Structure 1
Amino acid sequence: MYRTLIRYGYAPFMLLGVNGAGIALTAAGASKLWLLGLLLLAIGCSFAAERLLPYEDTWNTSLSGDGRRDVAHAFVNESLLLISVAAIPLLAATVTAADLWPHSWPFAVQVLAAVLVADLGITLVHYASHRIGVLWRFHAVHHSVKRFYGLNGLMKHPLHQTLEMIAGVAPLLVIGMPVGVASALALAVAVQLLLQHSNADYHTGPLTYVLALNEGHRFHHLKWAGIGDVNFGLFTLIWDHLLGTFSYDPTRRFSSDHLGMAAKPNYPTAYLDQLAEPFRPSGTHDSEPPRPEPGLTDRRARA
């Protein structure tokens, strides 16, 4: 019974329940501490779902201490996200060009609009990070993962995370996004990263082709050059359909052997080493995004 509940109810609970509660509380003017509580609830539910209904049992076990490293990444990057929300009043005063924000719209619709705009900016930076050498050096930290579970969503170099968030949020700040909408958006980003990298074997049916969740995002982490250049979206796969980068095959199974970077199998695993790696001198091969290997075919299934 609980397995069925997790398989079909976990994603709606996170997407609609946790985010919906965050939207309702923010609209009511509740303390931001409630949002922090919802985030902790989401993290707890993520770990519980992964253990009760894992996609891959071995991904629930730490590999060479990567659990401690991932906690460090999550703490630093989530703190940066919260700090950026707290700084929005100051930022808005300096970067807002015109108050064009649709304040008269229902609050939930305002948040949904912010999600779609942020999704476009983050997707485009993500897409560029697989094609521009200097961006790839920082983004490679995220692609060094060898197992797929909730905290991996925040396993990013803080400079790359900051660039993605600037691309997603700056257009919203220019037109006067309110702090409340930004707070609900920050919670939605954290919840989405937990879902997108979750080891829980949940299913969303036809929505798999629209929402950027774990079933589709696993294809993005395939380690072979050229194969993982798909499914760049954070919240949705709409932009991937338009970019021609959508890929999904429901029959495909994944293991740790399929994840990581084939061209850099010995990528540093310690937290501080990963922060330093993009700045270390290297040859052209290491500074450029991965290219398809000769003879390797991309067997992506397009919808």
Structure 2
Amino acid sequence: MTTLVRWGYVPVVLIGINGAAAYRGAVHASELWAVALIITAVVCSFAAERILPYRVEWNSSLEDAGRDTIHDVVNESFILASVAVIPVLAAVMPFHDWWPAEWPFVVQLLFAILIADFGITTVHLASHRVGWLWRLHAVHHSVGRFYGLNGLMKHPVHQALEMATGVLPLILLGIPVNVASALTAGWTVPRQRSLPIRPGR
């Protein structure tokens, strides 16, 4: 089972689940499929982490699950609300002439991912270098072990800054609803996991 997780997790999540999210957006499938994909991704991630933890001791509680669950619920709710509003704002924004809508759907989605991740990464990098941002970001680095529930342990203000820098450029460029919808499902796929997924480890 550990071999299956080691070699199968990344392809299943990156290609399978994200690919399904992209396809769902391309064909304008029901939003319920996005919910199903998100739930599938979360279940796969937590199961993989239990089967193949980066460190076995990280599967043992440090009596931090309650705190981490609260952080996770607050921050995940904020993330879901933030990304759920992208398709809504995309539908009402008047700037659609700025978006490269003539590009193939997959290229538009990759463009959206690059813009969003650039904004988030910029805030993250600044958070390690700017004092007041570090004080907000330090919450994320205060954990005693890494596991699924504390990957989103962030100060809500810091989370808001990251999301705003990732989402606002897309909205201002006039991201189409179907691209925004595909981005939303793919974006919420769990990204910070403590899995030893490097081949050969």
TM-score, structure 2 length as denominator? 0.88
Q: Partner letter of residue 132 of structure 1?
A: V
Instruction: Give the structure 2 partner of residue 188 of structure 1.
Output: 186
Q: Partner letter of residue 179 of structure 2?
A: V
Deviations 1:229-262 (A, max 9, x none): xxxxxxxxxxxxxxxxxxxxx9xxxxxxxxxxxx
List structure 1 runs of 4+ shifted beyond 6 angstroms. none
Q: Is the 8 A contact 1:77 1:158 kept in 2?
A: yes
Instruction: Give the structure 2 partner of residue 42 of structure 1.
Output: 41
In structure 2, list runs of 5 or more residues that go unmatched. Answer: none
Find the partner of 2:68 among 45, 70, 73: 70
Instruction: Give the structure 2 partner of residue 7 of structure 1.
Output: 6
Aligned length: 201
Instruction: Give the structure 1 partner of residue 19 of structure 2.
Output: 20
Structure with larger Rg = 1
Q: Is the 8 A contact 1:71 1:151 kept in 2?
A: yes
Instruction: Give the structure 2 partner of residue 270 of structure 1.
Output: none
User: Higher relative contact order by CA 8 Å / sep ≥ 6: 1 or 2?
Assistant: 2
Identify, as 1 or 2, the structure richer in helix: 2
Q: Is the 8 A contact 2:24 2:182 kept in 1?
A: no
From the superposition, tell whether residues 76 and 52 of structure 1 become closer, same or farther in structure 2 (CA, over 3 Å).
same
| Superposition pairs of residues 104-143 of structure 1, within 5 angstroms | 104-143=102-141
SS of corresponding position for 1:38: helix
From the superposition, tell whether residues 89 and 200 of structure 1 become closer, same or farther in structure 2 (CA, over 3 Å).
closer
State the percentage of identical aligned residues. Answer: 56
SS of corresponding position for 1:131: coil
Instruction: Give the structure 2 partner of residue 198 of structure 1.
Output: 193
TM-score, structure 1 length as denominator? 0.61
Q: d(CA) in 2 for partners of 1:138 and 1:172? A: 25
Q: d(CA) in 2 for partners of 1:33 and 1:98? A: 26
Residue 127 (structure 1) shift: 1.0
| Superposition pairs of residues 1-303 of structure 1, within 5 angstroms | 2-64=1-63, 66-88=64-86, 91-92=89-90, 97=95, 99-191=97-189, 194-195=190-191, 197-203=192-198
SS of corresponding position for 1:188: helix
